[in-house]
Structure 1
Amino acid sequence: MSIRKIIHIDMDAFYASVEQRDNPELRGKPVAVGHGAARGVVAAASYEARAFGVYSALASVTAMRKCPELIFVPPRFDVYRAVSAQIHEIFRAHTDLIEPLSLDEAYLDVTHNKQGITLARDVANTIRSRIKEVTGLNASAGISYNKFLAKIASGYRKPNNYFVIPPERGAQFVAALPIEKFHGVGPATAARMHRLGIMTGADLAALTMDEMVAHFGRSAQYWFDLAQGIDHREVKPNRERKSIGAEDTFGQDITTLDEARTLTRPLINKVWAGGEKRGLYGRTVTLKVKFADFEQITRARSRPEPVSSAAELAQAVDELLAQTFPPRKPVRLLGVTISAFTPSSSTATPKQMVLPIQD
C-alpha cells in the first residue's frame, strides 16, 4: 500500500483569536469566550489566558479565580461558522478528502492533492499561509502518514507552527509518547494502564498480543497497532457527529444525590463546552450510571427544542439523577451525553426553551 499523506489543521485559540482580531482592545489580553455567570463555562481561551491556567470547559468562577483580569466575551457562533467556511474553502482548493472535527480543526488527506504539490509539509504551509492571508488568523499543522500521528503533531509546536512525523520515525516517536496522549485514552483508561505499569508507548509496545488480549479484549489489536505507530483509519468526508459525552469513574463509590450532583457538574461543563465549540445543540440528554458491580443503566429524556444553555443541561441531568438516587447499590461511574442534534445545529444558534422536558 502507498504511504498516505495526512494533515491535521488546528486553528490557534480559534474563538478567542477571532474576538481579538475583531476587537483591537482585546489583543494581548487574557480573553475567555463564554459567559462569566456563576454557572457559566469557558468555551475557549486566548493564549494570554492559558498562561494563567484558563482552558476550555473550565467553570467561569474557577477561571476568574485563576485570572482576575480575565475578560469574558459572549460567543458569536455565526461569525465563527462564517470564518470556518472560509477556511474550508481553502482546504477544498487542495483536496476533497476533508474530515471536519469541529469548526476549527480538520483532517485532510493530501496524498493526491489538486495542486500537485509533492511534499505534504509544503501543502500544509501553503494552507496555513492562505488562512492567514484570508482570515488574519494563525493555524498550526501536523503532518504524518496517519490520523493518530498527524493530530499529535499539530499540537507539538503550537501556536502558529507545524511539525512532521515521517514514516521512518513513527514507531520511535510513539515509543516516547506518554500514554495519556494516545487516541482513545481518557482518565479512566490511563489509570487502568498505569496500574498495569504502562506509562509510555514503549511500555505498551512491550506487551505481546496475548497480553494485549488478556488486558484489553476486543481492543487488543487497536492498541497493538497504535503502539507500533499504525492507524488504519481513513479521512472520511462529511463525518457526522451523533453525540457529545463525558464520564468519570470515581475513586470512591457514591450513594447520595448531593454527591452525584457535585460530581456531574464538571461533566456537564465539558459536554456543553464541546457542543458550543462545534455549534451543536441537542434535544436528548442521557445519564449513564455504572454501579460498583459494573452493572450499567442509562436514563434519557428528550425535549421538543434543543437545550440552549449549560444551566438547562444541568437541570435536565438533575432531574435524571433524582430518578436514580438514592441508588439500589453504590455507584462507581456517571456519564452525561447530549444527542439528537437538530438539522439546523450547524447553521443556527439554539432557540430559548419554552416547553418542559418530555419523556
Structure 2
Amino acid sequence: MATTARNQITIVDLNDAKSVQVYFTASQGFSQHYNPDTHKFSPAYPSANNVITPRVYETGDPNDHLARCTNVRYTINGTAFTASNSNTSYVVGADGRLTVKVNLTGNLNVTFEADYADEDNIVSKIGGSFTVVRNESSGALFQVVLTCPKGNIFDKSVAGDLTVKAQAVRGGTPDTTNVSYAWTQFDIRTGVWKPVASGRSNGAVLTVKPDDVLNFQTFKCVATDAGGSDAAATAEEIVTFQDLTDPYVLELYCPTGDKIVNGTGSTTVNARVWQGGTKVEDEATPEPSRKFTYAWTKLDASGKPSNFNGTTSPSKAGNPLTVGAADISGKATFVCEITKK
C-alpha cells in the first residue's frame, strides 16, 4: 500500500511546536544555462533577477506563513547571508526572499534557516535546502525544458495522474538525436535523489500519481546527448508537485516533552491522524480497531538514517514511539509514515 501521510519531529529541546514544512519557488526556475559560444546566460540574472521564495506551511493549515519567520539566513556554497550582510550578488530581503543577481559560475547549493513563531508564539527552528543548477555545453546551448500539460498540483479539479514532459533543446531547436532521459525524485528522509517508482518514467515522459506526492515532491530530469553530429552534453531540470487532496493529516505529539535531560530517561511520541478537522485515530485506539500502520525512521543530526539503540535497524513500527536517552546524540529526527491497512 502507498504511504497515506508523513510527518516528523526532532527531539532536541522543550518545544512542542506543530510540524512545519518548507519548499521553494523560483521566479526564473532552478537552472541557468550558459552558451560558451556566445558567452550568454539564459536567463541573465543581472537583468532578470532570480527571486527565491520560501513557502512555509504548518500542519493542517493551507496558508503560507513566511511572514511568521524571523532571523532568516541563507547559506550559499558555505557562505551565510542575512538581510544585514547581503551583497550585490545575493540579497536577503526583509520578507525572507533571496534574490540572485549574479550569473552562475557553478551550481548554487543553498540552505535556508529561520526562526518560526506559530500562532501560540512558540518559536522553533525550521529549514530546507535547494540547488540552482548551472548548465553548460561544449557547443550550442544544450538544455532540457520540462512542461506539465495538466499542471503540477493535485486538487479536486484533477482526475487521475499528472505528467511531466521533457524536451531537450540545443541552440533553441529541439534536439531529438541520441538523447536519453533519466528521472529521479528527492527523498527528504535521506537528503538524496533516488529512482522514481517502477513504471513511472517512459523516456521523456514521467507519470506522477497522487500516491507519489505527500504534500510536496520534487523530481529531477537529466537529459543526455550521447553525441554524434552534435557534441555530447548533459543538462538537468527539476519540478515540484503539490498535493492538496490528501484528506489525512498526521500530528506528532510529545506529552513528556521533546528533550532528554542529562542523558537519562526517555520520552514518548504519539501519532494522531486527523481528517477534515476530526481526529480519526490516535495512540489510544485499540490495535484491532486501527485503520493504519505506523512506520518510524530515525535520522541523526546530519539527516542520515541511524539505528535505534540496541538494534541493527533505523526503523521501528507501532504507535506510540518511545525514545530513550541512548537514541539521542545531540539531536535526532524521527519521521513517521502511516499506511492504510
Which of the five TM-score ranges fits, normalised by the shorter chain? under 0.3
TM-score relative to the length of structure 2: 0.26
TM-score relative to the length of structure 1: 0.25
Higher helix share: 1
Higher strand share: 2
> Whose RCO is larger (CA < 8 A, sep 6+)?
2
